Structure 1
Amino acid sequence: MPVLLRDAWGTLVPDMTDRHGPLPPLMLALTVVTGLVDAVSYLQLGRVFVANMTGNVVFSGFAFAGAAGFSLAASLVALAAFATGALLGGLLVHRTHAHRGRMLQYALLAETVCVAAAMIVTLVSGTPFVGGARFTLIVLLALGLGVQNAVSRALAVPDLTTTVLTLTITGIAADSHLTGGGGNKAGRRVVSACAMLLGAVVGALAVLNGHPTLPVLLATVILIAASAAATVLARTDAPWTRPLAKK
């Protein structure tokens, strides 16, 4: 089997004796969630991201410069809510650092609550999402994704950050055989990029076809399933649950 396919398969169906055990497919599920919610936030909430904070910093710059179509308020609210979620995620990380399974479980439960609340807002408010409903959605989704990012960072599963693909795509090219590299982990990196692409495509198709609530509903379902899996996994004391050695 080619190395790329073997890496991809090993990410989707991991070796449970590996240092990261069952975490890779769960990180991929969260990557799909990122694509879904950012599709809604950008296309329905006014050119703002709830997961990609690099984009919001750039959008803030555009708004400061007076570019049309960008909301400084929306970008700043998203940044603040995301930072608050990351703070909460950091608290979870430091209180559960001894068991990576429980760390993921608590983070997923917190994120699920935020995204489920956002789903309820989309159902109650109706479309288009404007005024208070718009900013409520930005806050709830950015809070949830902030928690996700903080815990994904602490879990440190290689090339599965769940939101940031810049270094992942850089690694695909920079470590390829064309550069003299080993091409290692290319399969995992490609799968990660495809997971976000899948979420974004599904989310955008739903929004563009008049179903803006559907991506948030799908994200909620994925998070509930992932939370259930993490709750089961949190009961084990397998080697992968132990803290990573500090570098």
Structure 2
Amino acid sequence: MRRVGREEPRAGRAVLPLSLTLVSGILDAVSFLGLGHVFVANMTGNVVVLGMALGGSPDFSTPGCLVALAGFVAGTVVSGRLAGAVPRPPVPALVVESVLLVAATAVAFAGLTPGRRFAAIGLLGLAMGLRTASIRLAGVSDITTTVITSTLAALGARSALAGGDGAGWGRRLGAVLLLLAGAGGGAWLILRWGPGVALVAATGIQAATGGAYAYLSRRRP
């Protein structure tokens, strides 16, 4: 994995990926329940949904999945550009992600017409692609923040039951539980107050996390 910039703060390594995993759970709940059965963070799930849509399932949207995928890939490209241009790529990436979430929230509160729905999907996909790639390129954590398949694999394969040392098990288990909590909390907010309120919650957590990380990154690890 390519590392960019200076060594990231230890506190940031511990807190950043877990907080962002919580946000991912909320955003995927918003996109799946409120934007037309697509995923904006979990691209593995999105590709599966796209396959079912292409196979003729009436419950899923081919255009919505394609917009999410295109936004995500575009976000990874932007992340690569940022990584080569700034000393601490996660910090500006988190700022841009927060701006994108604010924009998606504004779209949701303006009323989710078909066109605005696609706009919200694209903005959220762009934000998640930017963040996922930035975390990966900077080597902040082995937690991707958007999917937990590899996290679950490492949790089991490195456990004492598998003959491993169990290092990092708390962090990995925390990521699984926080993604679950984010999805559950996001669904609860959507069903009671709509996707706009859930996006406000996600944006607030994202902004607080980004601000804390920016502060910690200025201090010596």
TM-score between both structures, scaled by the size of structure 2? 0.90
Q: Deviations over 1:19-47 (max 9, x none)?
A: 75122202211111101110000011111
**CA root-mean-square deviation:** 1.7
Equivalent of residue 31 in structure 1, options 14, 21, 34: 21
Moved more, 142-151 or 206-215: 206-215
CA deviation after TM superposition for structure 1 residue 209, in Å: 2.1
CA deviation after TM superposition for structure 1 residue 87, in Å: 0.8
* SS of corresponding position for 2:206: helix
Distance change (3 Å), C-alpha of 1:62 and 1:111: same
CA contact (8 A) 1:175 1:182 kept: yes
Could you tell me how far apart the structure 2 residues matched to 1:155 and 1:72 are? 33
CA deviation after TM superposition for structure 1 residue 172, in Å: 1.4
1:21 aligned partner, one-letter code: R
CA contact (8 A) 1:159 1:192 kept: no
Distance change (3 Å), C-alpha of 1:175 and 1:230: closer
Distance change (3 Å), C-alpha of 1:182 and 1:235: closer
Q: Deviations over 1:204-236 (max 9, x none)?
A: 111122332121001111122123223323434
Could you tell me how far apart the structure 2 residues matched to 1:222 and 1:135 are? 24
CA deviation after TM superposition for structure 1 residue 62, in Å: 0.9
2:61 aligned partner, one-letter code: S
Q: Greater Rg, structure 1 or structure 2?
A: 1
2:17 aligned partner, one-letter code: M
> For residue 41 of structure 1, what is the aligned residue in structure 2?
31
Equivalent of residue 194 in structure 1, options 144, 164, 177: 177
Which residues in structure 2 correspond to 1:147-186 (within 5 Å)?
Answer: 147-186=130-169
Could you tell me how far apart the structure 2 residues matched to 1:130 and 1:49 are? 18
CA contact (8 A) 2:17 2:141 kept: no
> For residue 188 of structure 2, what is the aligned residue in structure 1?
205
Count the aligned residue pairs: 214
2:107 aligned partner, one-letter code: V
Could you tell me how far apart the structure 1 residues matched to 2:204 and 2:105 are? 11
CA deviation after TM superposition for structure 1 residue 148, in Å: 0.5
Instruction: Give unpaired runs (5+ residues) of structure 2.
Output: 1-6
> For residue 11 of structure 2, what is the aligned residue in structure 1?
22
Instruction: Give unpaired runs (5+ residues) of structure 1.
Output: 1-17, 241-247
TM-score between both structures, scaled by the size of structure 1? 0.81
> For residue 118 of structure 1, what is the aligned residue in structure 2?
104
1:107 aligned partner, one-letter code: A
CA deviation after TM superposition for structure 1 residue 130, in Å: 3.5
Which residues in structure 2 correspond to 1:8-19 (within 5 Å)?
Answer: none
CA contact (8 A) 1:92 1:103 kept: yes
CA deviation after TM superposition for structure 1 residue 124, in Å: 1.6
Distance change (3 Å), C-alpha of 1:122 and 1:19: closer
CA contact (8 A) 2:135 2:141 kept: no
CA deviation after TM superposition for structure 1 residue 55, in Å: 1.3
Asked if 1:105 corresponds to 2:91, the answer is yes
CA contact (8 A) 2:9 2:216 kept: no
> For residue 136 of structure 1, what is the aligned residue in structure 2?
119
1:39 aligned partner, one-letter code: A
1:33 aligned partner, one-letter code: V
Asked if 1:71 corresponds to 2:37, the answer is no
